Every structure is written in C-alpha cells, then in structure tokens.
Homo-oligomer: A and B are copies of this chain.
Amino acid sequence: MQRKLLSPEREDLIVRALEAGMRTIAEFSAELGVSEATVRRDLQSLEATGRLRRVHGGAEPMTLDRRLEPLFNEKTSQMAAEKSRIAELALAQINDHDSIFLDGGSTVLALARHLNERRRLTVVTNSLSAAAELLETPHRLILLGGEFRPISRTLVGPLTAHLANELHINKAFMGTIGFSPAEGMSTTDPNEAYTKELIMRRADRVYLLADSSKIGVSSLVKSGTLADVDVLITEARLPQAVLHVLHKRKIEVITP
C-alpha cells in the first residue's frame, strides 16, 4: 500500500544521506534503522516530489533546478529511458520519404538516433548534435543556418528565418525546457524561442516531445502557445486536469 505522507524528519535524513554519498537501499536501511521495504516506500515518495531519482538498487540525487538548461554533455542520461520511449513513439509517426524537422534538446536527439529505421527522409534541423547523429545516414540532411548557441548546440535567432521560410516541413518534432497547459512552452533563450516559434508556424503538423520532468514547468521565455502544438508525446501519465485542457484545445496526446 502506498503511504499518504512521509514524515519530514525522515525525508531530511534520506536527503542528507544521499548528499553524503549513500546510494543503496541497504545503506539507507541501516542509516535510518527501518526495513528495506520502508526505505523503498520512502524513496518512492521522494521521487514523486522530485527530490531524488530512483534507480535499480537505490537512488541518486536529483540534479539542480530543471529550469537551468542542463549543460550539454552532462546529463543527457537523465531520464534516458523515458526519452528513449518517447523517441520510439515519435518514430511511429514518421513514414519513409517524410520531410521532418528536428529541434534541439536531448529528447529529440534520442529520436534522431532512431531514424536509421526509416528510408530516405529529408531531415531539416537546427541542432548540430542531431546533425552529427545523421552525418553517416543515407537521409537527406538540411541544416538551418544561423547563429550558433553553444550551450544547446543549436543554430538560433533571426538569421534562421531566411532559410526556414524557404522550406516546407511536414512534421516538426520539437523539444522544450518547460511545458504548462496554461502558459504553453518556454525555454531559456530568446533567440532559441524565436526559432522554435518560427518553425512551429511553418510546419504542417507539430509534435511536442516532453518527458514528465518538463510538464508543469515554466522557464524564462515563452516559446509558443498551445495553439502551435498538434500532438504531445510523453511517457508520463498526465493528470486529468491537464488532459482536459489538451482535449479542449484539440491537442492529441500520445503515451505508451
């Protein structure tokens, strides 16, 4: 049976223990003087509130504020399983010979890694990471030009418009830092936001790829509204309230 609430006392103990370097269930159990089953339930609670991340065998501390864009090479592994599952769902939306856009971000990057399962796509992207992934594939690759933003490894800003306006994109697969039903999408950089909006307005069909850590989060700059999105792909079970809003906006939701 799932518990209602974890006492803040033990919550502190666990978080403190985590910071001290403890990782395994056995360690926590010994430290807190409770059974392993209880530790697991504790970790379950803490994961639900986002204080830590559970893994087989124990737990690891959660990274800083998610509003700060993770440095690129850093935690692409965060939520890797979730991202990969989302990528598979997205892949199912792509047919051979489609002409698609790939946005920046690690979730979309996971999709790029799956594209060898399709034939002769035309892939437009502003992400150098995605491009690197596709260098050796037989797909046609078109890079959006523009100013390079090191932290996200994307090409962004007004210059991207000159090329984007010349292209016709069937399906755009977008990432985001935050997504909330009320505010829409948000990201950390105005130029990045500019390019995202530009692309979404030019694509026939816009897919937003967002793992559960993005839902309900707002970042600095608005980068598109709900009206810009046609389909939301996520691995999370969304709250009823969110689902209701999405349904009213005629946004399709794809989950595993």
Question: Do B5 and A80 touch across chains, with their CB atoms under 8 A apart?
Answer: yes
Decide yes or no whether A129 CB sits under 8 A from chain B: yes
Question: Do A11 and B77 touch across chains, with their CB atoms under 8 A apart?
Answer: yes
Interface string of A15-44 (1 = CB under 8 A from B): 000000001000000000000000000000
Q: How many residues of chain A are within 8 Å of chain B by beta carbon?
A: 55
Q: Which of A156-164, A181-189, A234-242 contacts B (4 or more CB under 8 A)?
A: A156-164
**Contacting A142 at CB < 8 Å: which of B11, B48, B129, B145?**
B145
7 inter-chain pairs at a CB distance below 8 angstroms, sorted by A residue, are A11-B77, A48-B84, A48-B113, A49-B77, A67-B135, A141-B147, A144-B145
A sample of 8 more A-B contacts (CB under 8 A), given A7-B55, A143-B146, A162-B163, is: A11-B77, A49-B84, A50-B109, A128-B131, A140-B148, A142-B148, A162-B162, A163-B163
Taking Cβ atoms with an 8 Å cutoff, the residues of A that contact B are 4-5, 7-9, 11, 23, 45-46, 48-51, 55-58, 60, 64, 67-68, 76-77, 80-81, 84, 109-110, 113, 128-129, 131-133, 135-136, 140-148, 150, 153, 155, 159-160, 162-163, 165-167
